[in-house]
A and B are shown apart, each in its own frame.
Chain A
Amino acid sequence: MWEDWLLIVRFNRKDGDAFRRIYLKYRSDLLKVAGALLSDQGAAEDVLHDVFMNFARQAGSFRLRSRLKAYLAICVANRARDVNRRERQRRTSGLDAVEEPVSPQPGPAHPLVERERAERLAAALALLPFEQREVIVLHLQQGLRFREIARLQALSPNTVMSRYRYALEKLRSSLNGEL
C-alpha cells in the first residue's frame, strides 16, 4: 500500500520509472484477470494495453482512492466487459444469432491442477454469465473483497455477493459434484 502510494506520487510527477514499476508489478495478475474473462489471449493483451494507456493518461492528476491493485483489476474487468459485449453484439447481429459461451483456451499445463480437472474448471467458468465470472475472478483469483468490488463498480455489496452466490451455484451444478 505504502509502496503503491509512493509510486503514484512519482507517477503523478510523470516519472516513467514509476509507471514501468507499476506495470511490471501488476502485469501478470492483470493479464490473468483478462485471460480468465475473455476467450482470446490477444484480446486479453489488448485489454491490458488499453487499461494501461488510460492509466498513463491520468499521470499528473491520478488519485488513488483504493488499493492500486484493486483499481487496476476493476479497470481490466470493465474493459473486458466492453470487449465481451461488443463481441456478443457482433455475434447476435450476424448470421449466427446464438450466443456462445466463452470457450476455454488450451494453454500450458497447470502447475497445480491436473489437466483434466483444469479443463473441467475452465469449462464451468466459461459457462457463467460475464458478471458472475467477473466476481469469481476478482474475488477468488485477485483476493478483492466484495465491498471493494462493489465500491469500485458502483454496485451494492449485496448485488456483488448475490452474483458470487449464484456463480457458485452454477459452478456446482456444472461440475455436477465432481470436486
Chain B
Amino acid sequence: MRNEKEPNLVSAMKTYLRFTPCQSSGNLDERILTDGLAAMGEAPYESSAWSGWDVGRIIMRSRIGKLALAALVVVSVLLIGFPGQWGESSAWALEQTIEALKPYRAAYLSGTLMSKDGHPTAFEMWMRANPTGVASQEMLLRTTAGGLVWVSEGKSYQHTRGDKTVYYEDALTQGISHWFGPHLFILLGQSDHLEVTESRDERTLVMRGSTINMNGPTAWEFVVNRDTHLPVSVKQWSTMDHSGAPGFAATEILYYDDLPDSTFQPEISQEVTYQEIPPQIVETNLSVLGGSRFGLAVNGRTYEAAAQDILQQTYEAIITRDLDTIRRLCPLTSLTTDAYLETLLLVKTPEQAIASIDQVGGIVKRGHSPLGPFVVVPCTVTRQDGSHWRTPLIVQFRGSGASESCVVYGPYGMPVQIIDDL
C-alpha cells in the first residue's frame, strides 16, 4: 500500500515545487546586480582565475592577434572532446562531410572577423594540410586592415603592413594545428551538442555544436551543401550557446587538391627585422604556481635534470590517469574538477590518448618570472594511434637553496605532429 502511494506523493510534490510560479519584486534584479558588481569589485584576488593552458596569450595583445585568433580557433587542435552522443541523422551527415573532405588538401576561406571591440574586418585565408591530412602545415591570413598572420615550420608570425618588425614565436601559439578537413570534423563530432538541422535553403544543411578549447568556449555552425556534402560557410562564436555576433564568419570556402607554395609566402619587405616574442607566464597564474604544496624538489640537481624528472613524472601520471600527481606537479590543474581534468589532459579521443613517452629533451629556452627562472623543454610522445607529437613544456622554478623546487606550468604552444621521412 505504502509503495503504491509514494510515487504519487513524490510526483505530486515534485510537480508542485518545480512549477510553482516564481514571483519577485520589480527591483530585485537591479538590486542584486548593482550590489553584486560592487561587491565583486572589492573582492581581493587570491589566486589565478584561469586554470587552463594559456596559449595565444601573447598574440592576443595585438590588434592583428585578436583578429587572427578568432579565425584560428576554428581549426584548433585543442578541441576538448566530450564523449557525446548524437542522433543517427547527425552522425550520418557528419560521416558524409568527413568523406567528402578527404580528397582536398588545401582551402581558401574569406569572410569577416570581429575584433574584440566589435569592429568587423574582412579577411582571406589560405590553408594547407600536412602529408597525414591531420594537421595544418601552412596558413596565411590577411585582413583588409593590414594585418598578416602566418604559420610556418612550427613558428607563428604576425605583422602589420607598414611596420618594420615581424614578431614571431617559436611555437604554434596561435592555436592552429588541425587541418580544415576530416579529422577536425571527427573531433567536432565529439562535441556535446552536435545537431544537424534543415536549412531555409533546401540545398543545404546546418550543423551546429559547441565545445571547449584552450581559448575558451567555442560554438560553431557549418552550412553544408546537400549534394557535395562540403561545408560552404562556417561561423564561430566565443560562447557555448551561439549568442552574440560571431567572431569569425567565413562566407566562402573553396577547396583545392593543393595550392602552390607561393600562396603561403607573405609579402614582407626585405627591410623588416624579426623579433622573437619570448615565452611568458601569465602574471595572474603566479600565485598558484608558487603554492608550497605543489612541485618537485630540485635537490641540488641542474635545472635540466630537475625539469626532465618532473616532466617524465607528469607524463607517467597522465598515462596512468593519476590525477593527484598531475595536480601536485601542475598547480594550475588543481583548480579544476576531476571530470574537466580528465577531459582536458587525458581523453580527447581514445586514439589521441598518450601511450608512451618517447623523449624528454634538453632545455631549448629560458625565461624569468617573478617566481624565478623557468625553462622550456620539448617532450615527444606517442599516441594510441601510433602518431608522434612534440610539445614544448614550461617548467617554473621557485625558491632557492635547499627549498628550491619546480612545477610544470603548461605547454608552450600547440603539439606538433612529427612526420617520419621514409
Contacts and interface: CB of A to CB of B under 8 A. Distances in A.
A86 interface: no
Contact of B29 (A10, A16, A27): A27
Contacts of B31: 49
Interface in A139-153: 140-141
B9 A13 contact: no
Contacts of A49: 28, 31-32, 35
Nearest to A109: B21
Nearest to A122: B16
Contacts of B335: 63
Contacts of B23: 35, 41, 107-108
B340 interface: yes
Contact of B16 (A12, A56, A64, A110): A110
Given A1-B339, A52-B32, A141-B14, A36 B20 contact: yes
B25 interface: yes
B422 interface: no
B17 to A, nearest CB: 4
A19 B37 contact: yes
A9 B49 contact: yes
A13 B32 contact: no
A75 interface: no
B43 A179 contact: no
Contact of B41 (A14, A52, A125): A14
A19 B40 CA distance: 9
A101 interface: no
B302 interface: no
A178 to B, nearest CB: 10
A64 B216 CA distance: 17
Given A2-B192, A63-B335, A110-B16, A53 B217 contact: no
Contact of B13 (A41, A45, A57, A140): A140
Which of B12, B41, B192, B212 has the largest count of A CB atoms less than 10 A from its CB?
Answer: B12
A164 to B, nearest CB: 10
A94 interface: no
Contacts of A35: 20, 22-23
B9 A168 contact: yes
Contacts of A113: 12, 15-16, 19
A125 B49 contact: no
A18 B340 CA distance: 19
Contact of A56 (B22, B36, B337, B340): B36
Contact of A172 (B9, B21, B35, B52): B9
Nearest to A105: B23
A109 B20 CA distance: 9
B343 to A, nearest CB: 9
Interface in B333-354: 335-337, 339-340
B337 A60 contact: no
A136 B46 CA distance: 36
A23 to B, nearest CB: 6
Interface residues of A, number: 61
Interface in A46-80: 48-49, 52-53, 55-61, 63-65
B299 interface: no
Contacts of A118: 16
A166 interface: no
B200 interface: no
Contacts of A28: 22
Contacts of A137: 17
B380 to A, nearest CB: 30
A95 interface: no
Contacts of A141: 14, 17-18
B12 A121 contact: yes
Given A111-B19, A113-B16, A140-B13, A57 B25 contact: no
Nearest to B16: A121
Contacts of A96: none
B51 interface: yes
Interface in B185-203: 192
Contacts of B49: 9-13, 60
B19 A107 contact: no
Interface string B43-87: 111111111100000000000000000000000000000100000
Given A31-B22, A172-B5, A117 B40 contact: no
Nearest to A177: B5
Given A31-B22, A49-B31, A168-B10, A36 B17 contact: yes
A20 B42 CA distance: 16
B90 to A, nearest CB: 19
Contact of B24 (A1, A19, A20, A45): A45
A3 B240 contact: yes
Question: Top 4 nearest A-B pairs by Cβ distance?
Answer: A12-B49, A61-B46, A141-B17, A56-B39
6 contacts: A19-B33, A23-B33, A59-B39, A113-B19, A122-B16, A172-B6
Given A23-B33, A56-B35, A61-B44, 8 more contacts: A2-B192, A12-B50, A13-B49, A32-B17, A110-B19, A121-B13, A136-B13, A179-B12
